[in-house]
Each structure stands twice: as structure tokens, then as C-alpha cells.
A = this chain, B = another copy of it.
């Protein structure tokens, strides 16, 4: 009897891209067709797109994550909890912190990291909304500043100043949560709300660059009404233990702040660089089948990949929406390769729209080409959030983890 060698499929990362690849692939192939291994740092998946809520403290981090075991089929997918150190694509090997794996096909879906563009002090003194660990540290850091305020003989109002670097998507969503959270914190720690400052610093000439100007105006004025100060066209020059230094043209200003959150830059995983792939800020320009140049058996999905939008001649922004679509296609193509039957399909993103939340009760967005704001956009945002759960874990995961407080 001849044992047919089953190919080893290794998936790195259980974020939107990697987990989608795994759950689709486990449907497409049978137990005897492939060995599928999923590697992830934690034994849980988290909703990256909800991390700004956990960071502000408006949603508990346990609401933002679920066990990977809940959605994978153990008979088909082997789960390894470990940290990926690097890939050796020439030898088809993956080095983990506590071991090593070999593969026939590899999917890299290690997501994003914070990019500080070499701005002095940001790495050391600013927080970034990067994962569950970071999110709950931000929440606790802010609470600690409030808790400390009244214990000091000389009150230092700057403890109650929170700087958010960047008025992009993540910055604005975080500001929306913060603006709702601050009144709660003031009550909790007997702090006068007038003492609290939330300052958003953005180097570009507008908040949410690229978004519809009318919607941007809606978002900015709503946040301003809730007390957020915007410093637009202003760049962070340095971050120190005391706060930040900013510049607008020639004018340099120091802003003292107990908390600085950097939300203005992401890059692909450092594992991409470590592994020697040709990349720009950890993002590999993949071929239409999502493969790394030079390696037919290495797929890259999600924020570690880069694809050019031919209409605008600019890269698609890294989004969960695209990561999931890539995961789905990647699983299909892997099934083709495993069975040696059918043809590889190229990736075609299907952008349904973009919704930016402004707290639990408001949002702005463009969905299927239609502009919306207020309660309607907020409802749509929750539907988008629930859809991600649905695509990966089906209706039962939506029931367990979904967002249903619509009003």
C-alpha cells in the first residue's frame, strides 16, 4: 500500500486574513487531503477593528476576543500557540519562539504593527492601539492618570490631557470613544470635566484625508462639540515623558500630556523584514494570486500584503474587509493546489464601503456609494462588525459576540 504524502499547509496569524483562510480551507478540503496548521501568538482571535473601544474602556476586551478553538475544526486544523520569529522561504521552514515547522504551502497573515516613522520618543513614550494587550494597557493608563489626580498635593492638570496622534480612521474612531468615556471617568474619579483635554494632532491639511468632505465636517464638529480640540496641519516632532512637541510651519509648541496615543501609522509585520522578503514597510507587493515574488508556495494576505488599485494607481488601504476577502480567495486557491485540479483565481477586491464610528451612537460612512451619518450609519457600522463574526464563525458566533445595542 502506498501512503500518499499529504501536503503541509501552514497559516501564520489568526487575524481576519489568517482565520478566514483557515475556516474556509477546513470546509473545502477533507481530513485526508492536507495537514493544516494554524499558528498564532494567543489562543484567541481579536476584532482589531474594535480595539479602539477596548482602549478607551467603552467595551470590555473580553467582548473583543474569542477562543480560536471555537471556530476551527480540530479534526482538520492543528492549532499551535506560539510567536513566529521568521520564515526561511528557501528552506520552506518557519522558526517559532519555541519550535519550528516545515511547509509545502505557507500563508502569512501576521497583520500590522505601529509605524512611528522615526519620530523621536514615540516608541518609548506613546501607546498604540495594536492588540488586546496594548488596548487594555491604554485603558488602565488613562484610568491611572485620573485616579492619581486627586492624590497629589499639587494638582497637575496635564495628567488629564490625552493626545491622539493622527486624525485618520483609527484616530477618529478612538476619539469618538474617548469623548463618550471621559464623562464616565470624571464621575468615577471626582474630576471636573473642564480640566480634561483631548487633543488630536494631524499633519495633513484635513482630518480623514480622502473621505467625503461633508462627512468629515460632520465628524469633526460632532467631536468638537464633545470637547475634542483639533490641531490640523500640525506635525508631532517629538514625544517625551511629559508630552509632545508639535510644529505648524515655523511655530513650535510643547503640549504637556499624561497620555499620548499614536494612531497615525501602521506597517506590516516585522517578520516580513526578518524573513528577507522584498517589502515596503513590511508590506509585500503580491501577485494577483496573492503570492510573494519568487515563491509560488508563499501566500500573503491582509496587512502584510500590498496591492495596487489600478483605478487610482495607489495601494489599497489595509482593511479587515480586504483581509477577509483575501483569506477567502486564498483558501480556494489552496484547495486547487492541494487537489491539483482547477485553476488559480486572481484576487479582485469588492469594496462595499467604509463606515467610521464616532462612538457607540454615531458614525459616518459611504456604503454602496451612498453617504450616511448619525443613527443610520451607526447601525450600519454594527452590521459590518457583526458581518465579520458571521463570515468567520457563523450565526452562533454572532449571537455570542455580536453588537445588538442599536440605540
Contacts and interface: CB of A to CB of B under 8 A. Distances in A.
Interface of A: 42, 133-134, 136-137, 139-141, 143-144, 146-148, 150-151, 189-190
A189 B144 contact: no
Contact of A136 (B42, B134, B189): B189
Contacts of A137: 144, 147-148, 151
A62 B176 CA distance: 27
A83 to B, nearest CB: 11
Contacts of A150: 133
Contact of A151 (B134, B151, B190): B134
Contacts of A190: 42
A42 B151 CA distance: 13
Nearest to A65: B190
A136 B148 CA distance: 8
Contacts of A147: 133, 136-137, 139-141
Contacts of A42: 190
Give chain A's interface secondary structure class.
Answer: helix
6 contacts: A42-B190, A133-B150, A137-B147, A137-B148, A139-B147, A141-B144
A137 B140 CA distance: 11
Contacts of A143: 140, 143-144
A146 B137 CA distance: 9
A190 B140 CA distance: 15
A189 B190 CA distance: 26
A45 to B, nearest CB: 14
The 7 A-B residue pairs with the shortest CB-CB distance, nearest first, are A140-B147, A133-B150, A140-B144, A137-B147, A133-B151, A144-B144, A137-B151
A189 B134 CA distance: 11
Contacts of A133: 147, 150-151
A350 to B, nearest CB: 36
Instruction: Specify which of A42, A134, A151 lies most central, judged by the most chain B CB atoms within 10 Å of its CB.
Output: A151
A137 B147 CA distance: 5
A301 B140 CA distance: 39
Contacts of A140: 140, 143-144, 146-148
Contacts of A139: 147
Given A133-B151, A134-B151, A144-B144, 15 more contacts: A133-B147, A133-B150, A137-B144, A137-B147, A137-B148, A137-B151, A139-B147, A140-B143, A140-B144, A140-B146, A140-B147, A140-B148, A141-B144, A141-B147, A143-B143
A148 B135 CA distance: 10
A133 B147 CA distance: 7
A186 B137 CA distance: 14
A201 to B, nearest CB: 23
A178 to B, nearest CB: 17
Nearest to A146: B140
Contacts of A148: 137, 140
A190 to B, nearest CB: 8
A145 to B, nearest CB: 9
Nearest to A133: B150
Nearest to A62: B188
A165 B134 CA distance: 31
A56 B151 CA distance: 17
A274 to B, nearest CB: 15
A308 to B, nearest CB: 34
